Each structure stands twice: as C-alpha cells, then as structure tokens.
Structure 1
Amino acid sequence: MALNGFSKLAPDIYLYTPQDAETGHLVILGTWMGAANKYIEKYIDLHKKQMPTASILLLKSQVSSMIRPYTKQQQAIEPAMSPVLSLLAQSNSSNVPPRIFLHIFSNGGINSATHLLIDLERKRKAPLPLVGILCDSVPTGAGYWKTYNAFMYSFPARFPASIAASTAVHTLLILLFLSVAMGRYENPEDFWRKAILDTKLIDSKRICYVASKADKQTDWRDVVAHAEMARAKGWGVKKVILEDTPHCNHLKKDPQMYYDVLELMWTEAKL
C-alpha cells in the first residue's frame, strides 16, 4: 500500500509537501518498528487535519535498521536532514520562526528521531527548534526483556513464525547486550531517554506522553518516570495515561483525545 502524496527520499524516509505549504511548518513522524502504511496513514490524516499547511517528514523503522551500529544508523538517516535544513533556511531568509513538531512511537520512532537529531546537531552546531514532542508508547526503560518485547511487537504472533522470530531476536539481543557490556555502545533505551531531553539536540521545553497501563511492550511506569525527569529539568509536561489500550493503538480508542493533544502541542499552550 503506497503512501499517498509522499515522495521517497531514501529507504524508510518519505516526505509529504502540501500544495499550500507554510514556510517553516513541519511534522517529523517517527513510527514504530514494522508499522504498516495503513496504520501510519491514520496518524498522517490526523496531522493533515490539524495542521494542513505543514509538510510531513516520515521516518519508518525496521528491525534490520535497529540492529546496526549507531554510526551506520546515523548514516542511513542522513537523507532526512535535507528537508529539515531546507525548511530552516527558508524560515531564516523569510524571517519567519520555524514551527516543527516531533511525534514519535515506541522504540523504532525514538531511535530514528535520536539519530536524526544527532546528525542535525553535528551539521548545524545548534539544537533543533521544536514546538514540542509527542511520545506515544515511549520511552521504555532499559532491560533485556523490555527490549525483547519491543522487538517482538514487530513480528507476527502466530505459530511457527513466532518461534523463529523469538529465536532470531534472542540471538540479536545477546550480541547487542554483549556489546553494551564491553562498552562499545550505551544501552539503547538509556541513550534514547537522555537524547530527547538533551538541550544540545533540542530547543524546546514542551513534551506530552500518551501511554497505557495495558501496554505489554512499554511499561507505563517507565513513561511516567521519564515525564517526571522532564519536569525536574524544567519542561512543561502533559501525561495521558489510559487504562486499556494496546501498544501504539491509543488513537483508535479515543481519537478526540489524540486530536486535542495535537492541537494543544501545535498551539504552544502552556502545559
């Protein structure tokens, strides 16, 4: 299923530009691992409704990309810098402040966003200005089984495919955690949790979390802990903790809540 109106910039990187695009308006949408286009389009439609003048930079995520060394992941995300840098240049020349919104889902989305932010800071020597960040079912805490659950969400649950997927994920995670133990890499979850509050990477103090107590992949208490960390650092924080929605499926349960959250973040109201 094709993404209607999007141009492909690189594998898993797409850009939508509306006919009446407003200078400086951009949504960066980082989706969960293995997200199907038919689900992604529900969030794209919501953003088009909320901010029809905004371009949308879509960062899809696959398991294969998540297991690469960090340097390789940052190289792979480099094509996503071009529309961001172009937008910032247009805003600067027009003397119009940019309005960029970051919307991320699960480990796949926060991973894509983190590497893009690192690439942009390396290029610009400045943090990316954002009107705010929306974290859907993220960030999770560090730990073998939490990482395992996040990876398994991308695979079919039916037998025997689930057995093959489980074996493959365990093998990958053993290698990953050995690399972490040897000091080659920082634990991914710790890396992400710090990055999205890093003022070297992000010029913003507004963040919203949507999570659920029924989520089997992301522990809602990890999300709340990160929200409290953000608040302690002086961020404006909004939390929406639901009772019974599955992982990355909160829009289906309460679309009006989701729309209201986006409107709140775009209008830059006090949180």
Structure 2
Amino acid sequence: MASNTALTQDASPLGFMTKLSPAVYLFRPSPAPASAASSTPGPVKADTHRRRTPAPKLILVASWMGARDPHIAKYLAQHRALFPSSPILLVRSEQRHWFRQQSRLDELVPAAEVFRSFFPDATLGAGEPGEPELLIHAFSNGGATSLITLRRLLAAGATKTAEERLLPPYALVLDSAPGTFRYWPSYQAFTVGVARGPLWRWLLVAPFVHMLCAWYWARFVGPVRLMLALRRLLPGRTSKGEQRWDQQQSGPVREMRKGLNDATMRAAEVRRTYLYGVDDALVDWRDVEAHAEEAERVGFVRVRREKVVGGEHVALVRVDAERYWRVVRETWEGEDGRASE
C-alpha cells in the first residue's frame, strides 16, 4: 500500500494528509500531541474539556458528495483539535461514484486496508461492543453510502471464522443524513457545482442529470408509489401496512438507509447521533427522524437526535459551532459527556 501513496501538495488544504487513492486520505499525527495540536491549520479552539474516555484509535470522516478541500479541511482541523493524538481517515464521495458504482468500490480499497491495519481483530469480534474505539463522522447520503461501501469491502476480506461484526466498536455522527430519494433535491445535489460554472456546462450537464433522476424514479420509486396508490383503493388497508410495503423498494439510497440499521452495524455500534437541519433543502428532516425511529425499533439503544433550527445541508456547524462540536465530543464520550457504563 505504501508504494501507491503520495503526499498531497503542501499548498492544498489537505496537504497534511497522505493520499492513498483519489477518494482516500490518511493523517497520522505526530507522536507528541502538543506538536500535533500546534500544527493544526486554521483558528480552532483547543479542547479544554477533560476527557473521561480514551481518544479514538481512528477517526473516519466520510465527506458529502463533491465536498471541496477547504470545506473538508475545516472539519478535519476541529477533529485534530479535539483529538490531537488520533489518526484521521478521510473517505470522499464524488459524483462519478453514483454514475459508476464500481469506481467507489475500487477507490475505497485502500480505506479497507487501513482499517485492517488499525483493527486487525475487528472481523473476529464477538459479544456486545464495549467502549468505542472508532469515531465515524459521515455527511449526507454520499458519506453514509461510502460507509456502507467500506463495510462491504471489509466483509469481502473477512475470514471464514468471522462473525457478524465487521467494524470495531464505534460511535457514529450522521450529519444531514440519511435522506430518501426525492426528485428535485437529488437534481439539486448533482448540479450544485455546475450552477456556479459557465452556461455551456450547465446546458450539457442539466439534461443528463434530469435523465438520471427520471430513470431512478421510474426504476425504484415509481412502481412502489403506484402500488401504494392502488392499495389505498382496497378496503381494510392501513397506513401501517403501506409503510411495510414502502420499505420493500430498492435502489442505492434505500439500500444505504437499510444498511445503516442492519444487524452488522448493530453488533458493533455503541451509540449514534443524528445532526440535521429543518431548513435542509436536500435532505428532509422528517426522513432523518424516520430513520432514527427505525433504528430504535430494530434495537439500537443509544440514539440521539439533534435538530438544528435554521440548519442547512452539511452547514449545521455555521448555526452554532460550539453546540455542534460539543455534540460530536459527547457522542464519543457518552451523552452529556459521560462515558457509558
């Protein structure tokens, strides 16, 4: 793996990381925490809170689709301030990953190798998870899908004696995720960068994205909606029954939502927090809350909801940065900053 790595350019906001693939970066801090904290880029407040739990063995940051380097670097800087001794693994989500799913798998292979080096016994874990060793910070549907893809890669490399757990004990922060497929929000997500570019690029890309969204709707959403409409015409059908039918729809977005709440995740998860905004134009806050309710229903016992009034998509930190990072820290340590028993 070392032969395929390269340091990013010093001028880049991610220049302090080692680039393992087009979508995977790794940061290993200096052995001296004070030195690592002093080199943290940007005006970040130091963490003066006295932690009751050890720092993460690894922090996984799964960024949103098309996230730019300066925006990612701001989140990484705060993680470096909160946990100066913790390595950080960055997994990026790009538009090409949605157009060609195999590209996401190929580019995330180095991330799976990093996981195996940090947690060599994770695929052999048995019993209930204890205190977390891994902190996961995933953004939007893109970051959540990267997390599920990484788990698939770990499963592919698991031994025959491996049990369900494919991740080490972890704490999870979901920022603006997970959503469901909605036509116009999905269209906006894929064209957000194009809107700031030249007109010719918009004229080329916009029709293609419309075609892609229309295909997805017709393939995965439309048939379910039609069946629900027909079922409403029949006597004796309840909303509860309709909900069960709706959960039978497929597609990458639905598979991602199911994957976050399946038994494999439950076997390793210690606690999770949903951070979401009521003014998010791309991910409806009701879809996030519905997923949190489902998580509790299937057995996730430490589920926390943090609704941000005025919060926009992957921009919740702008509303109240102090609250945002306090929630991240408390998710790692236990709700209200106390380690779980």
Per the TM superposition, whether the score is higher than 0.5 is yes
From 167, 177, 197, give the equivalent of 1:128. 167
* TM-score, normalised relative to structure 2: 0.70
Structure 2 gap segments, 5+ residues each: 1-11, 34-53, 124-130, 224-248
Shift of 1:105: 0.6
Counterpart CA distance in 1 for 2:109 and 2:217 is 26
Counterpart CA distance in 2 for 1:84 and 1:110 is 17
* TM-score, normalised relative to structure 1: 0.86
Identity rate, percent: 28
Task: Determine helix, strand or coil for the equivalent of 2:264.
Answer: coil
1:186 aligns with 2:250: yes
- Matched AA of 1:193: R
Shift of 1:218: 0.6
| Count of aligned pairs | 264
1:265 aligns with 2:319: no
- List, as ranges, runs of 4+ consecutive aligned residues in structure 1 with deviation greater than 6 Å: 21-24
- Matched AA of 1:128: L
From 75, 88, 94, give the equivalent of 1:43. 75
- Matched AA of 2:112: M
Shift of 1:186: 3.4
Shift of 1:199: 2.5
Shift of 1:154: 4.4
Alignment of 1:83-94 (within 5 A): 83-89=114-120
Deviates more, 1:167-176 or 1:232-241: 167-176
Counterpart CA distance in 2 for 1:120 and 1:136 is 23
Counterpart CA distance in 1 for 2:191 and 2:141 is 12
Structure 1 gap segments, 5+ residues each: none
RMSD: 2.8
Shift of 1:74: 2.1
From 255, 280, 284, give the equivalent of 1:215. 280
Shift of 1:172: 2.5
CA gap of 1:154–1:103, structure 2 versus 1, over 3 A, is farther
Deviation string for 1:135-171 (max 9, x for gaps)? 1011002343343233233433567354543222112
Shift of 1:214: 0.7
Shift of 1:201: 4.5
Counterpart CA distance in 1 for 2:321 and 2:132 is 27
The structure with higher relative contact order (CA 8 Å, sep 6+) is 1
**Which one has a larger percent strand, Structure 1 or Structure 2?**
1
Could you tell me whether the CA contact under 8 Å between 1:35 and 1:154 is conserved in 2? no
Deviation string for 1:228-263 (max 9, x for gaps)? 111112321111111112210011221111111111
